[in-house]
Structure 1
């Protein structure tokens, strides 16, 4: 028996345990997938598939414009080819459907290996190690992120953040160089990662401040070189009027920071804490001033420049991009609970002497970065994916402490209650579930009950539009991407913020009067109008005014310049031909 215990203790720390857990999780998810369907899940997944299809069909690598939106100009996209690379490679090897199923699971495998690296570095006890590999499904934001067919950019961003932390708490130049490379890839995929990359740099500064090795120049040097190489390599010349990607101003600021950090160790008084603090503070102020001077208006939030129509009828309902005070109660509680798990887990690690000598600094670095990610998630909800991944090690420590105690209770009912309480304390799953009934009472980012009441029963099969001669379709944002994926049509607009004029036109069409709709659709030379009465965004548009265009289409009060195509229309789906 002792030998078996020792074998289990040794096995759980190996890479074999990671692969075993991943294979089990992947097998369950793939077994369930026939019930869920083998199609992309949301509009961003469809858009990613369209981007890779266009590339494999011959569109230039540097050109990520979506030409089937708002033809002939197309839709300018800020997306990066870095996310396309693994998907395209697997599509060529195993086909489109298998690639979409496997890519998210491969990102999950990378996340599990990063978690293992963190737990090895912090010398987790075996039981906590096991929980760290198994607990991911109990964090509400994570299972869907790594589910088959979820091929958007959120999973790679979160995994790169987790890998950066695993490298941050190591103690070598090579780990700092690798961290800089991963941080650069993270920002090339989405500039939304910039604030947390700045936190990474600050934590490398903390390592120097407390007298550890001077790894900051290696991190910043790698960041500067890698960011320039990846930005130019995946986007070509960085000549753009948009502020949502890495720009020369960013790259020059990174380079300046790398040079200054390399000089700092040779300045006077660097053997003293005060001297190091003054030098690091000066570097931060210089780089901040340089960034504002080089970036100008692009140093602010690009979403602040949205047209009021987009703010009212689009961005204000994109829950993943909104702060905590605009979230539903269940989501808001999940965000706060995640931060609480991180804080309580860190207290458990430090105040109860769980780590051996030498583990205090890496544990504190992990805690500080996790808290920064948790704080960021309060401003941008989708950052909670990063925060919840970083909360897993802390949750594992808490579980290893409280679950065994709960299981030692002799009486069955108290034991069950204590076990559920331990799980509820150490993960946000139950907190989110218990708060869900409040969502209807206090809707924030979601739609109010009176708006949801406008949704018809049923569903819509957009593949039916493939029977029509290809043309330009005006359809709500979410439906448009599915129409592109299942047919040869083009669409007027989709929800990508660089392209405000066609987006405003589409929203004005559905929320405005019938006369406004006719003027816009005629000017845009639209061939078809498609609308799904069961869709949430259509219900939202209907709530704008009783007699607007969306209500006219759903109620059957069809203007004379539209003709219902009864062959394609079915159930809640209505497809009209224009006859201007």
Structure 2
């Protein structure tokens, strides 16, 4: 036999194809990284770096307090060591820079393997399989979350969600156990994943409803056991410390109670009938909801429901990633809605292409319902769009595999090009979002009002210049705090972490109020420096509170006599003042 050469169709389903797709993405990201910079992306990435540094420097495993924020007591944090572990390990083995570059890229690898498992289970065509491995860059929220230096907790959460989806489609009890364990890690990292974990439990209930194997008790049992173990080992015997933003013993008791009830249900009367199974599952849900309300009390609701009014007005309402779709810029809103549309259209295509045959109907339906739930959740909390877009990739791959060959088969050149672009635009959210971008300035969201944008000065804040001053306590806007800590030996009064509402509100009140009000607040913290960067969005927002407020005074340089400009650190849009006592 002659040499038939390499065939992508013969290799696209292999694990080597996953590695090749991952390696190609890594090489492209590393090639363009010099253009984007070799440093953490935002405040949360800087703070994650601070967490890892403090731990490696000897801070306790259970203690995630940021002691350089509002020293000496520090800022209480709800973050999990689960996210710190791979960063710390890579730092010890290869150094900090390698860890910051490679850990976000490595999170993509299990995501691609989970996509492969989903596509194998649903028996995708070779072409759809290929699209499923390479489509990630066309989903706007995904490349940035798997990019070097993007070390916050959003990528791990999204990967765990996708792995749970892949395990949900399998029929063995060990897959259910693995799914429950991954779901537990997900909610230990962030309680924000709890609604989708509840959806997972509901989908295992759907499996029981349709007479599938009794996998629900295995999922819930693993969820309860792993949640208790992971919470205790990473947060200690008192995980909540009086806060509602982490997994609490009440949550774990509800998980355990649900597992016990789910194990009993198959032995109840009439479980051989659909009506009996539905009634039992509904009763179980009602019991668990009542139990959650009793055990969790006020913590059963949104932990952000009771915020300081100052924070509600000047902080929380401007965190775009936490806002619903109707408060997003037009391009972002369309991207979120388009992602949901891709899921629905892909589901219709799956039905049309025969994926419901040969025992795949239930698996395809479960994936659709989970992806649709994630898409719906993203319309309420924008950052959940990362999960929704990962889950939408298989549906986009089906759309492209079905319609792109038809578009390419058009004989005339111009209609063929138009049809090809139309299919690509319809099957991914990137182009819709890009085309809608010019509309953002004509229909500005609350977070990007023209009067605020006009006050943002060009230039780089350059907080590293604060390393040149004698180390001290810096009174600075909330978003500046983590970067100042990451680049210098200074401490800061506050940063943007909701458990610590009093100092956060004080910083905002000082910057939005008069110089006299600011002096009264600043004296309570006794900082050595006051800093503000005119190129930052939060400072621009505070300047709109009043023409003669403290933020405007800092930027203009017309400051009261108890402040003295530090010419060493001040440069460009960064203004640094020493507090005269």
- Which residue pairs with 1:257 in the alignment? 258
Is 1:17 the counterpart of 2:27? The answer is no
- Which residue pairs with 2:49 in the alignment? 49
- Which residue pairs with 1:387 in the alignment? 388
Deviation string, structure 1 residues 510-563 (Cα, Å, up to 9, x no partner):
111100111111111111011111111111110110000000111121100000
CA apart distance, 1:3 = 8.5
- Which residue pairs with 1:63 in the alignment? 63
- Which residue pairs with 2:433 in the alignment? 432
- Which residue pairs with 1:183 in the alignment? 183
SS class of match (1:563): strand
- Which residue pairs with 1:286 in the alignment? 287
- Which residue pairs with 1:104 in the alignment? 104
Give the whole-Å Cα distance in 2 for the aligned partners of 1:439 and 1:311. Answer: 24
- Which residue pairs with 1:225 in the alignment? 225
- Which residue pairs with 1:115 in the alignment? 115
CA contact (8 A) 2:122 2:355 kept: no
- Which residue pairs with 2:153 in the alignment? 153
SS class of match (1:576): strand
CA contact (8 A) 1:465 1:568 kept: yes
Aligned counterparts, 1:437-456, within 5 A: 437-456=438-457
- Which residue pairs with 1:342 in the alignment? 343
- Which residue pairs with 2:170 in the alignment? 170
- Which residue pairs with 2:460 in the alignment? 459
- Which residue pairs with 1:406 in the alignment? 407
- Which residue pairs with 1:369 in the alignment? 370
Q: Are the structure 2 counterparts of residues 155 and 445 from structure 1 closer, same or farther at C-alpha, using a change threshold of 3 Å? A: farther
- Which residue pairs with 2:130 in the alignment? 130
Q: Are the structure 2 counterparts of residues 474 and 109 from structure 1 closer, same or farther at C-alpha, using a change threshold of 3 Å? A: same
Give the whole-Å Cα distance in 2 for the aligned partners of 1:266 and 1:2. Answer: 62
CA contact (8 A) 1:318 1:445 kept: no
SS class of match (1:529): strand
CA contact (8 A) 1:196 1:373 kept: yes
Give the whole-Å Cα distance in 1 for the aligned partners of 2:440 and 2:574. Answer: 28
CA apart distance, 1:7 = 3.7
Is 1:327 the counterpart of 2:328? The answer is yes
CA contact (8 A) 2:474 2:528 kept: yes
- Which residue pairs with 2:314 in the alignment? 313
Give the whole-Å Cα distance in 2 for the aligned partners of 1:352 and 1:19. Answer: 28
Deviation string, structure 1 residues 113-169 (Cα, Å, up to 9, x no partner):
100000000000000000000011000110101011100000000000000000000
- Which residue pairs with 1:271 in the alignment? 272
CA apart distance, 1:351 = 2.9
CA apart distance, 1:445 = 4.5
CA contact (8 A) 2:105 2:147 kept: yes
- Which residue pairs with 2:565 in the alignment? 564
Deviation string, structure 1 residues 80-114 (Cα, Å, up to 9, x no partner):
00000000000001110110100011111111010
SS class of match (1:304): coil
- Which residue pairs with 1:80 in the alignment? 80
Is 1:528 the counterpart of 2:529? The answer is yes
Is 1:494 the counterpart of 2:491? The answer is no
- Which residue pairs with 2:486 in the alignment? 485
Give the whole-Å Cα distance in 2 for the aligned partners of 1:434 and 1:62. Answer: 47
SS class of match (1:69): coil
CA apart distance, 1:73 = 1.1
- Which residue pairs with 2:423 in the alignment? 422
CA contact (8 A) 1:319 1:445 kept: no
Give the whole-Å Cα distance in 1 for the aligned partners of 2:231 and 2:456. Answer: 43
CA apart distance, 1:4 = 5.3
SS class of match (2:577): strand
Give the whole-Å Cα distance in 2 for the aligned partners of 1:268 and 1:355. Answer: 31
Give the whole-Å Cα distance in 2 for the aligned partners of 1:418 and 1:272. Answer: 49
- Which residue pairs with 1:29 in the alignment? 29
Give the whole-Å Cα distance in 1 for the aligned partners of 2:328 and 2:265. Answer: 44
Deviation string, structure 1 residues 144-200 (Cα, Å, up to 9, x no partner):
010111000000000000000000000000100000000000000000000000000
Structure 1 segments unaligned to the other structure (5+ residues): none
Give the whole-Å Cα distance in 2 for the aligned partners of 1:281 and 1:305. Answer: 31
CA apart distance, 1:8 = 2.3
SS class of match (1:534): coil
CA apart distance, 1:446 = 2.4
Q: Are the structure 2 counterparts of residues 445 and 226 from structure 1 closer, same or farther at C-alpha, using a change threshold of 3 Å? A: farther
CA apart distance, 1:5 = 9.0
SS class of match (1:305): coil
TM-score, normalised with respect to structure 2: 0.98
Give the whole-Å Cα distance in 1 for the aligned partners of 2:564 and 2:350. Answer: 68
CA apart distance, 1:356 = 3.7
CA apart distance, 1:76 = 0.4
CA contact (8 A) 2:355 2:364 kept: no
SS class of match (2:31): helix
- Which residue pairs with 1:207 in the alignment? 207
Give the whole-Å Cα distance in 2 for the aligned partners of 1:459 and 1:6. Answer: 49
TM-score, normalised with respect to structure 1: 0.99
Q: Are the structure 2 counterparts of residues 5 and 12 from structure 1 closer, same or farther at C-alpha, using a change threshold of 3 Å? A: farther
CA apart distance, 1:352 = 3.3
Higher deviation after alignment, 4-13 or 293-302? 4-13
Give the whole-Å Cα distance in 1 for the aligned partners of 2:65 and 2:458. Answer: 36
Is 1:93 the counterpart of 2:93? The answer is yes
- Which residue pairs with 1:519 in the alignment? 520
CA contact (8 A) 2:355 2:361 kept: no
Give the whole-Å Cα distance in 2 for the aligned partners of 1:102 and 1:467. Answer: 30
Give the whole-Å Cα distance in 2 for the aligned partners of 1:18 and 1:49. Answer: 29
Is 1:193 the counterpart of 2:189? The answer is no
- Which residue pairs with 1:545 in the alignment? 546
SS class of match (1:223): helix
SS class of match (1:378): helix
CA contact (8 A) 1:476 1:506 kept: yes
